[in-house]
């Protein structure tokens, strides 16, 4: 019953997905924005301990509940950790009503043909089994599109769907994330190509299988409406992709049926130096603004 309830929440729940999945490469930047400099740790373990404290502070804040935050994406070390005295995924669902996801990608290959593909993921089946045992509902895997390259984008999407099928075989729901870099000159053209490739691959999925899509906010409003309405798509979510929270919220509100899955835009304005009252008030206002943009369509 729990997974059915989680699936229904992801299909139709009002709110957004929090991306709390900064990994090794992005953790120092996330900590710096939070007010913790690189001089605060000597080892990777100390660094990960500090980011876990930040994530725990967010997840245990009064505003962080399923009333507005319907899901959260976790880094592997967060899944293996404890929040509020319980395993992280268990705490999120049982105490907060937030559906837990796991980031499974291990970074990107070098750019080729206008895209950066996913690096191999060693031991993926074992990781997916651990995720199921931990109470994870789905996964997230990010690759990047840097140019309107038909061949490159086709290869990018094909790789994403191959990985999605492996995730689906474990009973998990994959969030497919082929991010289009917001600064490229041919962004709109790349998004048109991406839309066609996604539709083609979605149409080829067996009946009864569902995936989620995490996409860059498009240049043309409602470009991805056909994906929102696709029978194989559980939900379309948007990444902030370098936009400020204000910009991302404004763009999101123009796209009917698309909800947020923000990372940096979610933590913008939060600081380790804030009192609990200041932190909670800032996070509450942030969550409300992202919620409002997510339900605007």
Active site residues: 177, 214
For 165, the token pair is 């099928």
- Give the Cα separation of 170 and 150 in Å (integer): 31
- Give the Cα separation of 258 and 8 in Å (integer): 16
User: Which residue, among 261, 276, 269, 263, has the nearest Cα to 57 in the 3D structure?
Assistant: 276
Instruction: Write the DSSP string, 85-134.
Output: TEEHHHHIIIII--EEEEE----BPPPBTTEEPBPP-TTHHHHHHHHHHH
**b or e along 247-278 (b: 16 or more beta carbons within 10 Å of the residue's beta carbon)?**
ebbebbbebeebbbbbbbbbbbebeeebeeee
Angle formed at CA 137 by CA 89 and CA 109, multiple of 5 degrees: 95
Q: Which residues pair with 87 in a beta bridge?
A: 82
Alpha carbon distances (Å) from 42 to 38, 39, 68, 79: 8, 7, 37, 23
- Give the Cα separation of 104 and 140 in Å (integer): 6
Alpha carbon distances (Å) from 160 to 4, 218, 234: 25, 19, 16
Q: Within 13 Å, how many C-alpha atoms sit on residue 263's CB side?
A: 21
User: Which residue, among 179, 175, 163, has the nearest Cα to 121 in the 3D structure?
Assistant: 163
For 147, the token pair is 């140019």
């Amino acid at each position: 019953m729990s997974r059915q309830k989680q699936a229904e929440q992801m299909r139709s729940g009002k709110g957004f997905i929090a991306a709390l999945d900064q990994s090794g490469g992005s953790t120092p930047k996330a900590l710096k924005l939070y007010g913790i400099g690189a001089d605060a740790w000597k080892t990777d373990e100390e660094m990960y301990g500090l980011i876990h404290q930040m994530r725990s502070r967010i997840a245990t804040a009064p505003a962080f509940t399923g009333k507005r935050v319907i899901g959260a994406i976790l880094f592997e070390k967060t899944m293996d950790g404890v929040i509020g005295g319980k395993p992280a995924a268990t705490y999120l669902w049982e105490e907060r009503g937030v559906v837990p996801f796991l980031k499974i990608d291990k970074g990107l290959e070098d750019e080729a043909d206008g895209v950066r593909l996913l690096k191999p993921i060693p031991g993926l089946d074992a990781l997916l089994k651990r995720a199921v045992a931990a109470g994870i509902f789905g996964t997230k895997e990010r690759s990047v599109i840097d140019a309107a390259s038909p061949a490159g984008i086709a290869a990018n999407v094909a790789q994403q769907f191959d990985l999605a099928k492996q995730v689906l075989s474990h009973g998990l729901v994959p969030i497919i994330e082929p991010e289009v870099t917001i600064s490229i000159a041919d962004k709109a053209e790349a998004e048109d190509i991406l839309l066609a490739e996604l539709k083609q691959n979605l149409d080829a999925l067996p009946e009864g299988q569902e995936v989620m899509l995490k996409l860059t906010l498009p240049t043309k409003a409602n470009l991805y409406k056909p994906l929102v309405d696709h029978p194989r798509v559980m939900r379309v979510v948007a990444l902030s992709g370098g936009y400020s929270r204000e910009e991302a919220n404004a763009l999101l509100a123009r796209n009917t049926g698309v909800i947020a899955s923000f990372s940096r835009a979610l933590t913008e304005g939060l600081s380790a130096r804030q009192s609990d009252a200041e932190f909670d008030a800032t996070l509450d206002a942030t969550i409300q603004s992202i919620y409002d943009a997510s339900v605007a369509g």
